[in-house]
């Protein structure tokens, strides 16, 4: 299969104004996608966005491109990524498009696609869109142009869907929680969901201005939420990212539960209820402690490449229902079709209520092995093969750890970074080894 020029592991992403994330390219992208999809009897798509100031501009460009291709557009406004995946299915649209750069800062943006079933596009469809991008943009005759309409009830539809992911009788009454919405797409929706289920909800990161998305808040910046949970004497905290497909949770003492621990809690509950199916799928970054804890439940644990796209592919291949990443992407395929921070948090809250236990007690049987992680800034987003020259350094690192640790060197799929990870039980030695590996890579760039 030919390699893709524009699509990465999570759609197309970059800095606003660069050669990809600009009005001209995005309009062409909408047209190309519309042409490919209309050849498959597609007549209507759903477009959503997060709160970035550039989202309005790119929304208009996408809308123009689809209209030129003769495809109607339903505009949902600012909603979580997973809401678009849901709306596509319930509205019987043929595709969903999300304008978001997820956990990145406001100066970045991106375009994500879902098919009619709420899944990421296949490689074949992405390649077909890229091939169409190379063709001259031709506009349909006026009577065949696509129309655009506002979907006024997108948020209420999605709120009802999220609440349906837990038992009707579930009540969060008596729970006090702080929700950090990352000044992103869930800033209105998430507090409503937990409040309507009975919780006392305090909010942070719920005042977006187009520039403050993920700024010192959200799932990638937990310090403020940790302090707020303790100061407010809350039972827990929930941190989403800019498009709410990630979630991290905070216990009442301010300690963090990451995606691995959330996956374990849900897996244990599914086993207890007899509803578990298939293996649990993680990534190369998943903690060794999660693997051992999942195995202790009598389940298989499989590692895939970093990125929820790869986790999803393996789950569907092996008829699994649960997987994700330590960064907070948690996929519950028995509830929805993509990673959803709100739905994942609701599954954990269900267990808390049913077992009447604090978050920390729900993970007491899972040992988390220390991980040392470092980032190396590079000029552009790199591919795994770009790091082949550093294989010798990785071997040296593993040898220095006497084989008692995992060493991973990989490019970020969404940012111009090389990530270094060392995991084991000797934290002091791991820090030394990780720093040496980082220094060697930097010196060789």
Beta strands in 21-92 (DSSP E): 44-49, 72-78
Q: Residue 345's CB: how many other CB atoms inside 10 A? A: 27
Residue 404 has pLDDT above 80, yes or no: no
**Among residues of the chain, what percentage have pLDDT more than 90?**
87
Residues 6+ apart with CB under 8 A from 398: 405, 407
Decide if 49 contacts 59 (C-beta within 8 A): yes
Pick the CATH number of 263-341+350-362 from 3.40.50.300, 3.30.2130.10, 2.40.10.340, 3.40.120.10: 3.40.120.10
Using the 8-state DSSP alphabet, how is residue 142 labeled? G
Residue 412 has pLDDT above 60, yes or no: yes
pLDDT in the model for residue 307: 86
Q: Compute the mean pLDDT over every residue in the chain, rounded to the nearest whole number.
A: 95
pLDDT in the model for residue 238: 98
Choice between 297 and 2, residue whose per-residue pLDDT is larger: 297
Question: Per-residue DSSP letters for 227-272?
Answer: HHHHHTT-SEEEEE-TTS-BEEEEETTS-EE-HHHHHHHHHHHHHH
Q: What integer is the mean pLDDT of 193-197? A: 98
Phi, psi of 408 (to 5 degrees): -135, 130
Q: Where are the alpha helices (DSSP H) in 274-332?
A: 288-296, 308-317
Going by pLDDT thresholds of 50, 70 and 90, the confidence category of residue 256 is very high
H-helix or E-strand containing 149?
strand 148-150
d(CA 240, CA 350): 18
Q: What is the pLDDT of residues 328-368, one digit of tens each?
A: 999 999 999 999 999 999 999 999 999 999 999 999 999 99
Query: What are the residues facing 280 on neighbouring strands?
Result: 301, 322
pLDDT in the model for residue 353: 98
Decide if 286 contacts 325 (C-beta within 8 A): yes
Q: What integer is the mean pLDDT of 65-86? A: 98
Are both 12-153 and 371-444 of the same fold? no
Decide if 312 contacts 320 (C-beta within 8 A): no
Check whether domain 371-444 has CATH 3.30.310.50, yes or no: yes
Residue 1 has pLDDT above 60, yes or no: no
Q: What is the dihedral of CA 219, 4, 33, 334, to 10 degrees?
A: -50
Choice between 382 and 33, residue whose per-residue pLDDT is larger: 33
Residues 6+ apart with CB under 8 A from 227: 254
Block residue for tokens 């309009």: 27
Going by pLDDT thresholds of 50, 70 and 90, the confidence category of residue 2 is low
* Claim: this prediction has a pTM higher than 0.75: yes
Q: Is 102 a catalytic residue?
A: yes
- Angle between the N-to-C axes of helices 341-355 and 81-90, in degrees from 0 to 180, rounded to the nearest 10: 100
Task: Tell me the CATH number for domain 12-153.
Answer: 3.40.120.10
Lowest mean pLDDT among 1-10, 210-219, 264-273: 1-10
Residue 373 has pLDDT above 80, yes or no: yes
| 38, 78, 82, 102: the active-site residue | 102
* All structural domains of the chain with their residue ranges: 12-153, 174-257, 263-341+350-362, 371-444
Decide if 263 contacts 322 (C-beta within 8 A): yes
Fold of 174-257: Alpha-D-Glucose-1,6-Bisphosphate; Chain A, domain 3 (3.40.120)
Q: What integer is the mean pLDDT of 189-205? A: 98
Q: What is the pLDDT of residues 84-127, one digit of tens each?
A: 999 999 999 999 999 999 999 999 999 999 999 999 999 999 99
d(CA 70, CA 280): 42
Using the 8-state DSSP alphabet, how is residue 333 labeled? T
d(CA 317, CA 319): 6
Region for residue 15 given its phi and psi (left: phi exceeds 0; alpha: psi -120 to 50; beta: otherwise)? beta
Q: What integer is the mean pLDDT of 51-64? A: 98
Residue 274 has pLDDT above 60, yes or no: yes
pLDDT in the model for residue 405: 79
């Amino acid at each position: 299969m030919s390699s893709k020029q524009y699509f990465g592991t999570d759609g197309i992403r970059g800095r606003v104004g660069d050669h990809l994330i600009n009005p001209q390219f995005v309009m062409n992208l909408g047209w190309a996608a519309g042409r490919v999809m209309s050849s498959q009897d597609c007549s209507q798509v759903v477009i959503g966005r997060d709160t970035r100031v550039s989202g309005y501009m790119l929304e208009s460009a996408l809308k123009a491109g689809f209209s030129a291709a003769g495809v109607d557009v339903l505009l949902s406004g600012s909603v979580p990524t997973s809401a678009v995946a849901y709306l596509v299915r319930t509205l019987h649209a043929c595709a969903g498009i999300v304008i978001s750069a997820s956990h990145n800062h406001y100066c970045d943006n991106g375009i994500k696609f879902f098919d009619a079933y709420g899944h990421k596009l296949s490689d074949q469809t992405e390649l077909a869109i890229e091939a169409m991008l190379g063709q001259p943009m031709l506009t349909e005759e006026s009577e065949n142009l696509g129309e655009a309409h506002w979907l006024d009830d997108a948020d209420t539809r999605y709120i009802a869907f999220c609440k349906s992911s837990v038992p009707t009788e579930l009540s969060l009454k008596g729970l006090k929680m702080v929700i950090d919405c990352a000044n992103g797409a869930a800033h209105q929706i998430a507090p409503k969901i937990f409040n309507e289920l009975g919780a006392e909800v305090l909010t942070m990161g719920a005042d977006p201005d187009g520039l403050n998305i993920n700024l010192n808040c959200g799932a990638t910046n937990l310090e403020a939420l940790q302090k707020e949970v303790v100061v407010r004497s809350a039972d827990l905290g929930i941190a989403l990212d800019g498009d709410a497909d990630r979630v991290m949770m905070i216990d009442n003492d301010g300690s963090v539960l990451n995606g691995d621990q959330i996956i374990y809690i849900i897996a244990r509950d599914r086993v207890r209820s007899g509803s578990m199916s298939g293996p649990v799928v993680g990534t190369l970054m998943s903690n060794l402690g999660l693997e051992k804890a999942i195995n202790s439940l009598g389940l298989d644990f499989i590692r895939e490449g970093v990125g929820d796209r790869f986790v999803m592919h393996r789950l569907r291949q092996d008829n699994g229902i649960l997987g994700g990443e330590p960064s907070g992407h948690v996929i519950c395929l028995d509830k929805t079709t993509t990673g959803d921070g709100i739905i994942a948090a609701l599954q954990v809250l269900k267990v808390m209520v049913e077992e009447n236990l604090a978050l920390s007690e729900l993970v007491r049987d899972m040992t988390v092995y220390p991980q040392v992680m470092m980032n190396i800034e590079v000029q552009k987003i790199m591919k795994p093969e770009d790091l082949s020259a550093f294989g010798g350094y990785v071997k040296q690192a593993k040898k220095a750890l006497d084989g008692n640790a995992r060493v991973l060197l990989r490019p970020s799929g969404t940012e111009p970074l090389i990530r270094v990870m060392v995991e084991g039980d000797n934290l002091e030695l791991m820090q030394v080894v990780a720093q040496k590996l980082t220094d060697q890579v930097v010196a060789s760039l």
